Amino acid sequence: MLRARDGSNGMLLLGKNLQSRRLGGMDSEGRHLLRLVNDVTRVSSALEYQFCNSASPQAVYKTGHDVVTLTEPGYHFFISSNHSQCVAGQKLVVFVVQYHQIPPPPPRKILPFAKDFKVGDSQEWRVPDESDFYSKWSEEKQFHVGDNLLFYYNYEVDDVLEVSGDLEFKSCDTSSPVAVHNSGQDLVRLTKPGIHYFITSKTPHCEDGLKLRVVVRPLTRGGPKKMQLSPLDHLIKWLQSFRPQPHH
């Protein structure tokens, strides 16, 4: 049996505050005109909930009296696709637990939680004062599969391109990007181990240092620590050897 945190048995009745509200007027022939100003948009993650991102909804409800059956345990996120309403607080998170009628399975090793990295921290994603700023920023972090990069920038000035190789990265080649992000507030999930490259399509800005290379490690599982360096760690050390050394 599924039970929401408030004790109800797995059903949400979405009305009043989190519902489809319609505003209307009259046309020249006296007919009512309806305009949708709210709905209920179900999103899949806490980040989409936090940033009111309705671009990839799991479901959209807009009758004004929607019933949603909670069929799975865990967190369920609901927002309004009206961004200003969502930012003002018109959103809902529900935590559903499942009561087991049989003994639970034996405990498993817990993998580390994914981390969110705001690229550049307070600098965000803009042309840096020092051309190696983002290289230093990346080398101070440890990225693993499942982590997220958060790019914040002025979308009228810059964007974020994922490119496939070191050559495109070094030469600021924007001709064949793997992906393009241009919302000004982009979430990029690191789904594979290895080296990932990001540049801006504005070539002068890229040449001035607005580009990022991150080395993504596989998920770390519990077990005895090995003193021997992995091939990926050797690669990281090799990349770090190319950093310009300070002059004294």
What's residue 23's pLDDT? 39
What's residue 205's pLDDT? 97
Q: Please name every residue paired with 116 in a beta bridge, in sequence order, or none if there are none.
A: 148
Q: Extract the tokens encoding 42.
A: 């179900």
Question: Number of C-alpha atoms within 13 angstroms, CB side, residue 157?
Answer: 11
Mean pLDDT, the chain, rounded, equals 81
| pLDDT < 50 stretches in the chain | 1-2, 4-5, 15-27, 30-36, 109-111, 221-225
**CA distances from residue 54 to 27, 40, 88 in whole angstroms, order as listed:** 31, 10, 15
What's residue 154's pLDDT? 94
For the chain, list the domains and their CATH numbers. Answer: 2-98 (2.60.40.420), 116-220+230-240 (2.60.40.420)
Opening angle at CA 113, ends 43 and 225, nearest 5: 160
Residue from 147, 144, 124 nearest 200 by CA: 124
> What residue has token string 């999103």?
43
- The pTM assigned to this predicted structure is 0.48
What's residue 83's pLDDT? 92
What's residue 65's pLDDT? 86
H-helix or E-strand containing 238?
A: helix 231-240
What's residue 21's pLDDT? 41
